[in-house]
Structure 1
Amino acid sequence: MEIISLEKSHSLTQCLWSSEQIRMGERRAAKRAGISLFELMTLAGQAVFEHASANWPQARCWWIVTGSGNNAGDGYVVARLAIEAGIEVHLIQAGDAQRLTGDAAKARDQYCAQGGTISQLDTVQASASLIIDALLGTGLVGPLSADAARHIRAINQHSAPVLAVDLPSGLCADTGQILTEAVTAAQTLCVIGLKIGLLTARGPDVTGKVFLADLGMQSLFKDEVGQAPIANVMHWQQQRELLPVRRTGAHKGEVGRVLVAGGHQGMSGAIRLTGEAALRCGSGLVRLVSHNSHAHLLNMVRPELMTAAFPDFEDWQWAGALVLGPGLGRDSWSQALFNDAIASNQPMVIDADALWWLAKRGGSLPAQKTWVLTPHSGEAATLLQCKVSDIEADRLAAVQAIQQQYGAVVVLKGAGSLIADEHNVRLCHYGNSGMASGGMGDLLSGIIRTFLAQGLTTFNAASLAVCLHALAGDMAATQQGMRGLLASDLLPQLRSLINQDDDYDHRLFTTYSR
């Protein structure tokens, strides 16, 4: 049995599955291995017990909160093992323990035979030093019952650290949505396979540090699930292998030209950030096309940037591809620039207000496989003509819907950013809340365009850029904190990361925790 941190690049932490895939795959894998589902439950409980004991060795009074499903069985196994280890156990049952059936009931009976007792929330007097959340598990599909919500509130109001079994109770395994409320865990130990809801939408708010216990079944599980994972987790160790290699005699025209169009009055900073990110990620030449009121000023502090003013600019083929949208605006000047850029019929990264203009065009444009769209949830809602809450209710479905409608590679930004082409979805688990500040998306657009200019495919360029951008944000936050983090703070980190030869996954994240 192996327990792996999500932060470690490992074959176990690269696949994301739906709850139905997990249920189907673990049943088939257990059958092929010749073990019963109860034995699998026992292995899961043992993994949780061993992980809890190793991570909180001083905790000698455990609350183990269980519900009425199979997750309760895991909790009862943990409780039995804890009693055998001499730990004070208070098993808190939500609902009637006598209504448990099947393997969960068997685990309950073994716990009671070991001398364990079953308590109700209102009767527990002892203060826990560790809480094990085995309340709901992966089966949540709608709002919580009043009793489940009451138990979740009690867990969250307690000062003890919480270890969630499989995922925090109240979190939807398939979407990361919290319909009512959810347990806020210090750590989550996921069993057999990672669920996508742990890592996107509201998942990162409540999961704490994520671990995966394979129960010795991972190879069998992958064989027996019979389907591809619904998404793949990106790790910098693998993504950095996509970085273009420069030949010794390379010149500036060979390593990529980047053209950036946008920068209306009062928004020159957006286009400058995009241009500087492109430079710091290795572009040989960068030109900014912006409003004539400030175009001549943009390279005064960064002289390596070239500038041009619209509407005088006409050389749309200068770079062979472009970034369209940073600081673009929504007036007649903006529309004219957007129309001219689109008419150039080039590969491009489309961001910010250019996404708004794109949505206004509706279905009048053909599918563009050479485009990368980079919406946040609000822009995604505009593209799909729905509410932001609809996007956040199922981010995976949203990114796939935008990809199908527009034909482009799509980056749905946010916690657990998703990158989709017509066949695959990748998820970025790096990043932090300090990156919720203006200009971050402008940086990302410049990074994507740089890697496109250096020969990567749209999907790989977007994936590498998202991973690099988020990891640079984590490096910056580690050094000086998340509060007050600025987009420009990432520029030195970007340069550092693309020039390193070491594996940064483990070393960075032993010091940084979301």
Structure 2
Amino acid sequence: MGIIGLEKSHSLTQSLWSSEQIRKGERQAAAACGMAMFELMTRAGLALFELSRDRWPDARHWWVFTGGGNNGGDGYVVARLARAAGIRVQLVQLGDAEQLSGDAAIARDHYRADGGAIESLNALQDTPDLIIDALLGTGLSGDVRENARRHIRLINQTPAPVLAVDVPSGLCADTGRILGESVEACMTLSFIGLKAGLLTGRGPDVTGQVLLASLGIQPRLQQTPVASLMHWDQLRRQLPRRRRGAHKGEAGRLLIVGGNEGMNGAVRLAGEAALRCATGLVRLLSHPAHAHLLNLPRPELMTAAFPGFDDWHWGDALVLGPGLGRDVWSHDLFEAAYEVGLEADKPMVIDADGLWWLACRQDDLPVRRPWVLTPHPGEAAMLLDCNTAEIEADRLAAVRAIQQKYGGVVVLKGAGSLIADEHHVRLCHYGNPGMASGGMGDLLSGIIGAFIAQGLTPFNAASVAVCLHGMAGDSAAKGGGMLGLLASDLLSSLRSLINQHDEHDNKHSDPDACR
């Protein structure tokens, strides 16, 4: 019943599930094992207790908030165990404790039989050393009601670490949407299997460190997960390898198209990222006002200007959009690159204003679409003719909808970036808030293009690139902090990471983060 962190590339941390899948699967698995459901609740409470004692060994006063479902039952179990260990426990029940039923009622009765009291919200005294959030579970679908919000606000206003049971109360476990108001946890212990909403959308804002306790039955889930969680130590095995006698022509040729006046930095960043990811040759096609200047600080880049460019078939892959703009020049450049890419069946990465021009052509899309689209939520809304809030309300549904409409591979950027093709969705849990700065998306488009040019399939190239991009951001942030992080700060980390042969899956390496 060991507890597993996301940094471990374990069979149990490779799949993401919906809450309904877990509910059905746990009952089927428990029945197959001849295990009563209350035994699962007892195991969950024990896992919470052991984790709490391990992470906060000096916490001698706990607040435990319980709700009306099995999540609340977990809270009663952990409260009973804490009292037995000599910890001062104040337990608050949301709603009427007498209305509990099933296993949660059994857990309540055991807690009371051992001398445990149920207190009112107003009776809470002093500041606790630890708060256990077992208010609302994974079954929550509508907005949090006012009574629950009062409890959530008190939890968030209290200066004590918060351990969320399965999911922070108020967070939709399936989508990562906050349902009106949410507990802001320091740590979340998920049971049986990881829920997708913990790791995308607003989930990363409120979950803190996410850990998993399988309770001994997860391997028995016989369903198709909603997504796969990516791990760098596995994906890095797909990095292109070079033979000892390789020459630059074998390492791929990448043409990067964009860079309107005033936005030449975008193609430059994409180009240098591609070089740092081992592409043999990179050419930047941009506005004649500055095309000849782009490689002055980086002479390994080749340059060309549009109009007047006719070597469209030079590259093995094409990146279209960084710094492209939306004027007549950008329209003509987009059309030229787009048509040549489709005619030659050349794999393309379409980003930034390239997506805007693509959306203008959404009624005239080709049957075969050899591209990777990389929208942020605002661009995703444009592609689907909706608003950003609708995208963020269900990012998994959004990335699938874009893929179904436009085909190819889609990368929906943001916290918990998603990569989808026709059959699969993958989620990346690397990266940090410091990466919310200009040029990060240009960098990513160059990395994806680099790996496509070197022979990876678009889906695998996008997957490797998104993880590498996030890992490089985390590495750069460790060196100088998140605030003020620049896209160019990631370049040296990119090179270091693709040359490392050790595991780098250590996103949550700070054991004192929640102490």
Instruction: Establish whether TM, by shorter chain, passes 0.5.
Output: yes
For residues 227 and 261 of structure 1, the distance between their equivalents in structure 2, rounded to whole angstroms, comes to: 43
Question: What is the CA-CA distance between 1:509 and the residue it aligns to?
Answer: 3.1
Q: Are the structure 2 counterparts of residues 504 and 250 from structure 1 closer, same or farther at C-alpha, using a change threshold of 3 Å?
A: same
Question: What is the CA-CA distance between 1:184 and the residue it aligns to?
Answer: 0.6
For residues 127 and 481 of structure 2, the distance between their equivalents in structure 1, rounded to whole angstroms, comes to: 33
- Answer whether contact 1:474 1:512 (CA < 8 A) is retained: no
For 2:284, what is the secondary structure of its paired residue? Answer: strand
Question: What is the CA-CA distance between 1:12 and the residue it aligns to?
Answer: 1.1
The letter for the 2-side match of 1:267 is M
Q: Which residue of 2 aligns with 1:196?
A: 196
Find the partner of 1:297 among 293, 299, 302: 293
For residues 33 and 508 of structure 2, the distance between their equivalents in structure 1, rounded to whole angstroms, comes to: 37
For residues 228 and 513 of structure 1, the distance between their equivalents in structure 2, rounded to whole angstroms, comes to: 34
| Alignment pair present for 1:441 and 2:437 | no
The letter for the 1-side match of 2:229 is V
For residues 76 and 512 of structure 2, the distance between their equivalents in structure 1, rounded to whole angstroms, comes to: 33
Question: What is the CA-CA distance between 1:105 and the residue it aligns to?
Answer: 0.6
Find the partner of 1:234 among 230, 233, 238: 230
Aligned structure 1 segments of 4 or more residues deviating by more than 6 angstroms:
511-514
| Alignment pair present for 1:306 and 2:302 | yes
Q: Are the structure 2 counterparts of residues 471 and 368 from structure 1 closer, same or farther at C-alpha, using a change threshold of 3 Å?
A: farther
For residues 512 and 457 of structure 1, the distance between their equivalents in structure 2, rounded to whole angstroms, comes to: 40
Question: What is the CA-CA distance between 1:44 and the residue it aligns to?
Answer: 0.6
Question: What is the CA-CA distance between 1:502 and the residue it aligns to?
Answer: 0.5
Q: Which residue of 2 aligns with 1:460?
A: 460
Q: Which residue of 1 aligns with 2:490?
A: 490
- 1:34-45 paired onto structure 2 within 5 Å: 34-45=34-45
Q: Which residue of 1 aligns with 2:315?
A: 319
- Answer whether contact 2:254 2:450 (CA < 8 A) is retained: yes
- Answer whether contact 1:260 1:323 (CA < 8 A) is retained: yes
Q: Are the structure 2 counterparts of residues 512 and 428 from structure 1 closer, same or farther at C-alpha, using a change threshold of 3 Å?
A: farther
Q: Are the structure 2 counterparts of residues 231 and 101 from structure 1 closer, same or farther at C-alpha, using a change threshold of 3 Å?
A: same
- Answer whether contact 2:259 2:266 (CA < 8 A) is retained: yes
| Count of aligned residue pairs for this structure pair | 510
For each residue in 1:86-129, what CA deviation from the matched residue of structure 2 results, as whole angstroms up to 9, or x when unmatched? 11000011111111111101100000000000011111113210
For residues 389 and 423 of structure 2, the distance between their equivalents in structure 1, rounded to whole angstroms, comes to: 25
For residues 294 and 485 of structure 1, the distance between their equivalents in structure 2, rounded to whole angstroms, comes to: 26
Q: Which residue of 2 aligns with 1:21?
A: 21
Q: Are the structure 2 counterparts of residues 409 and 507 from structure 1 closer, same or farther at C-alpha, using a change threshold of 3 Å?
A: closer
Question: What is the CA-CA distance between 1:369 and the residue it aligns to?
Answer: 4.1
Q: Which residue of 2 aligns with 1:69?
A: 69
Q: Which residue of 1 aligns with 2:248?
A: 252
- Answer whether contact 1:368 1:406 (CA < 8 A) is retained: no
For residues 127 and 77 of structure 2, the distance between their equivalents in structure 1, rounded to whole angstroms, comes to: 21
For each residue in 1:422-458, what CA deviation from the matched residue of structure 2 results, as whole angstroms up to 9, or x when unmatched? 0000000000000000000001011101110111111
For residues 349 and 224 of structure 2, the distance between their equivalents in structure 1, rounded to whole angstroms, comes to: 28
The letter for the 2-side match of 1:429 is H
For residues 432 and 252 of structure 2, the distance between their equivalents in structure 1, rounded to whole angstroms, comes to: 30
For each residue in 1:190-214, what CA deviation from the matched residue of structure 2 results, as whole angstroms up to 9, or x when unmatched? 0100000000000000000110001
| Alignment pair present for 1:426 and 2:426 | yes
The letter for the 2-side match of 1:42 is T
Question: What is the CA-CA distance between 1:406 and the residue it aligns to?
Answer: 0.7
The letter for the 1-side match of 2:160 is A
| Alignment pair present for 1:330 and 2:326 | yes
Give me the CA root mean square deviation. 1.2
Q: Which residue of 2 aligns with 1:101?
A: 101
For residues 31 and 276 of structure 2, the distance between their equivalents in structure 1, rounded to whole angstroms, comes to: 53
For 1:379, what is the secondary structure of its paired residue? Answer: helix
Structure 1 unaligned segments of length 5 or more: list them.
none
Q: Are the structure 2 counterparts of residues 507 and 332 from structure 1 closer, same or farther at C-alpha, using a change threshold of 3 Å?
A: closer
The letter for the 2-side match of 1:238 is Q
Question: What is the CA-CA distance between 1:513 and the residue it aligns to?
Answer: 6.6
Question: What is the CA-CA distance between 1:363 and the residue it aligns to?
Answer: 2.3
Q: Are the structure 2 counterparts of residues 512 and 366 from structure 1 closer, same or farther at C-alpha, using a change threshold of 3 Å?
A: farther
- Answer whether contact 1:478 1:511 (CA < 8 A) is retained: no
In percent, how many aligned pairs have the same letter?
Answer: 68
For residues 443 and 41 of structure 1, the distance between their equivalents in structure 2, rounded to whole angstroms, comes to: 46
For residues 292 and 83 of structure 1, the distance between their equivalents in structure 2, rounded to whole angstroms, comes to: 74
For residues 59 and 188 of structure 1, the distance between their equivalents in structure 2, rounded to whole angstroms, comes to: 17
Question: What is the CA-CA distance between 1:179 and the residue it aligns to?
Answer: 2.2
- 1:467-506 paired onto structure 2 within 5 Å: 467-506=467-506
Q: Are the structure 2 counterparts of residues 327 and 12 from structure 1 closer, same or farther at C-alpha, using a change threshold of 3 Å?
A: same
The letter for the 2-side match of 1:6 is L
Find the partner of 1:283 among 276, 279, 286: 279
- Answer whether contact 1:478 1:512 (CA < 8 A) is retained: no
Q: Are the structure 2 counterparts of residues 507 and 410 from structure 1 closer, same or farther at C-alpha, using a change threshold of 3 Å?
A: closer
- Answer whether contact 1:367 1:408 (CA < 8 A) is retained: no
- 1:30-429 paired onto structure 2 within 5 Å: 30-220=30-220, 222=221, 226-344=222-340, 345=342, 346-429=346-429
For each residue in 1:22-72, what CA deviation from the matched residue of structure 2 results, as whole angstroms up to 9, or x when unmatched? 000000001011111111111111111111111100000010001111111
Question: What is the CA-CA distance between 1:8 and the residue it aligns to?
Answer: 1.7
The letter for the 2-side match of 1:287 is R
The letter for the 1-side match of 2:247 is H
For each residue in 1:239-271, what CA deviation from the matched residue of structure 2 results, as whole angstroms up to 9, or x when unmatched? 100001100010011101010000000000000
For residues 450 and 512 of structure 1, the distance between their equivalents in structure 2, rounded to whole angstroms, comes to: 37
For residues 165 and 319 of structure 1, the distance between their equivalents in structure 2, rounded to whole angstroms, comes to: 51
- Answer whether contact 2:321 2:354 (CA < 8 A) is retained: yes
The letter for the 1-side match of 2:235 is Q
For 2:91, what is the secondary structure of its paired residue? Answer: strand
Question: What is the CA-CA distance between 1:508 and the residue it aligns to?
Answer: 7.4
For residues 434 and 321 of structure 1, the distance between their equivalents in structure 2, rounded to whole angstroms, comes to: 30
The letter for the 2-side match of 1:460 is N
